[in-house]
Structure 1
Amino acid sequence: MQTTVINRKQRADIAQETLAILERGNYISQHGNQVSIQGSLTAAKQASIHYSPEELKQVLRTLTAGEKFVTAISVTNEGCLTAARRLASENRVSPLCLNFASAKNPGGGFLGGSEAQEENLTKSSGLYPCIAQMTAMYEKNRALQSCIYSDDMIYSPDVPVFRDEDYALLDNFYSASFITAPAVNLGALKMNEPERVGEAAGIMLNRINLVLALALKHGHRHLVLGAWGCGVFGNDPQKIAAYFLNALSPGSIFHGAFEKIVFAVLDKKNTGSLQAFETTFTNNK
């Protein structure tokens, strides 16, 4: 959990430092070690894939049940990368993290010092160039003029993560994989398209299934998920937790498909998001 309080200007400065690191392909760690991420970053950028809604439907349609696990599901009050770093260390894997993405701008407002989940990810890793190159997804959502957004997603494997929770530069980077996907912006939908609010539940249920299908297609068994769209997008965390539970329950192709799932729900302001996920997954074990 982040322990150092920093302001917007400091976060913007960190974002600029991250861009410089990504340009150089190396950095000096907090203990004075030079660390190269060039090879890993280049590989992650080249291996990133933009999936259209049609391609994702095909992924979901053609999935077959593979090895089954007794999935260990936990709900934690921590950031996405705190959970990812732990999974990477304990299981020697590149955990798959869901990036709660801006639909229109890669990295959201990270260059301006904003502090939501995606901004944290892009300040701390090589994710930004992996997604910024996928201009088609962002242009499509800008043209849609709807806060539902499209089902387009970006998959980025083995992205180097080089900062800790306080944005200090790590002596050894680790790898995490990401699915970048926007949730429905329910708050804006209620204001601007109230006649479409009833569509949101079905769209989010389907979108969650597409995220899990993409994770499974690429062989991931350790996932970091969370309260997707429950911040400024205004989705109800109880409903989002229920949608995830529905997708992972007996009868679903995703039941037992994953070895470990962490719902990392950092709730510093006691908004109720953490409690909603804890209640949902504790009561349905």
Structure 2
Amino acid sequence: MSVSLSLRADRQVVSKDTIARTPSIVSSTPGASLDSQFIDSQLPPLDSSACPNHPPSTIRVINSDSFTAARAILREHPEAKGKVAVLNLASDEERGGGWAYTLCKTQEEALCYSSTLYATLKEEYYPWPNLGPGSVAGVYSPAIVVFKDDLDHGCVDLPENERAIVSVITVAAPCLPKTKITSSGERRFAKEQDLEDMRGKIRLVYRMAGWNGQAYLVLAAMGCGVYACPPKQVAEEMKAILLEPEFKGWFKEIVFAIYSNKNNGPGNFDIFNELLDGTEV
């Protein structure tokens, strides 16, 4: 039975427990690590001579927590072990978006409740610029442990044989960018430079995965929550960049996990589902 973890006091208990147990979870889980790397500029294009040339696959858009989606991939594809990367819809101001004291339920904070991610987001990495020079940056955590279920299931401990080791790509979208309404009624980025920064951040996500041999991607609606980026334009850009020749053959499976419930409404899920689900890459 699904048990929603909604009360702040309950979330605080889980947060403290996750932080306290992270070192022992990592030390007792083969292959796990608290290592991470801060990347402070755009990575070079992927090396075509090193491309694994995976056959074309179709994007899936699912209503799911990101780590729940990653665990499902690992169950269905045992060969994916060590090759699953999850996009963290990050804050560039402070680690985990201030998770340890805000105790909120954004996507980044949901990842922190369930895993050892928070300890890999080092204090010295923060803050970094959100827009303009230096804003195409992020953190690569190669081997975090997902050892708790998602928020909808009370963040209860997973059996040891169901724990998952995945990499996490932490990149922040433009925060509250200026937008405009077009003649057709669509909300778009108002400033071309903000859009270029967004494109750079998206490419950084895909390059982080490619350069690190991550063939299974769990992506999300980048910046379309509290950062208020225009979701249709973001979906278009994430799709268009994935279809660029540079990324052909690098990824074996791509899932967009976009959580939707009665409280946050279907909006982002419906937009990304319409534009991306079934796209061959």
TM-score computed with the length of structure 1 as normaliser = 0.82
Q: Which residue matches 2:89?
A: 100
Distance 1:103 1:197 in 2: 20
Amino acid at match of 1:150: S
Decide whether aligned partners of structure 1 residues 3 and 241 sit closer, same or farther in structure 2, where only a CA change above 3 A counts: farther
Say whether residues 1:277 and 2:263 are aligned partners. Answer: no
> What are the equivalent positions in structure 2 for 1:36-55 lying under 5 Å apart?
37-40=26-29, 43-46=32-35, 48-53=36-41
Decide whether aligned partners of structure 1 residues 159 and 61 sit closer, same or farther in structure 2, where only a CA change above 3 A counts: closer
Gaps of 5+ in 1: 27-36
Distance 1:5 1:147 in 2: 38
Identity of aligned residues (%): 27
Secondary structure of residue in 1 paired with 2:165: strand
Distance 2:278 2:223 in 1: 23
Q: Which residue matches 1:171?
A: 159
Q: Which residue matches 2:75?
A: 89
Is the 2:115–2:147 contact (alpha carbons within 8 Å) kept by the matching residues of 1?
Answer: yes
Is the 2:99–2:109 contact (alpha carbons within 8 Å) kept by the matching residues of 1?
Answer: yes
> What are the equivalent positions in structure 2 for 1:125-136 lying under 5 Å apart?
125-132=115-122, 135=124
1:140 maps to which of 116, 128, 137: 128
Amino acid at match of 2:6: I
Is the 2:116–2:146 contact (alpha carbons within 8 Å) kept by the matching residues of 1?
Answer: yes
Decide whether aligned partners of structure 1 residues 176 and 202 sit closer, same or farther in structure 2, where only a CA change above 3 A counts: same
Amino acid at match of 1:114: C
Secondary structure of residue in 2 paired with 1:246: helix
Distance 1:119 1:61 in 2: 30
Amino acid at match of 1:280: L
Decide whether aligned partners of structure 1 residues 283 and 221 sit closer, same or farther in structure 2, where only a CA change above 3 A counts: closer
Q: Size of the alignment, in residue pairs?
A: 259
2:212 maps to which of 215, 218, 223: 218
Alpha-carbon shift at residue 139 of structure 1 (Å): 3.5
Amino acid at match of 1:255: K
Q: CA RMSD in A?
A: 2.6
Say whether residues 1:73 and 2:59 are aligned partners. Answer: yes
Alpha-carbon shift at residue 156 of structure 1 (Å): 0.8
Gaps of 5+ in 2: 180-188
Alpha-carbon shift at residue 252 of structure 1 (Å): 2.1
Q: Which residue matches 1:4?
A: 4
Distance 1:69 1:42 in 2: 28
Q: Which residue matches 2:252?
A: 259
Say whether residues 1:233 and 2:219 are aligned partners. Answer: no
Is the 2:137–2:204 contact (alpha carbons within 8 Å) kept by the matching residues of 1?
Answer: no
Is the 2:138–2:171 contact (alpha carbons within 8 Å) kept by the matching residues of 1?
Answer: yes
Decide whether aligned partners of structure 1 residues 91 and 107 sit closer, same or farther in structure 2, where only a CA change above 3 A counts: same
Decide whether aligned partners of structure 1 residues 42 and 82 sit closer, same or farther in structure 2, where only a CA change above 3 A counts: closer
- Cα deviation, 1:24-54, whole Å, max 9, x if unaligned, reads x14xxxxxxxxxx3254995223x211120x
Decide whether aligned partners of structure 1 residues 148 and 237 sit closer, same or farther in structure 2, where only a CA change above 3 A counts: farther
Secondary structure of residue in 2 paired with 1:50: strand
Alpha-carbon shift at residue 148 of structure 1 (Å): 8.8
Q: Which has the higher helix share?
A: 1
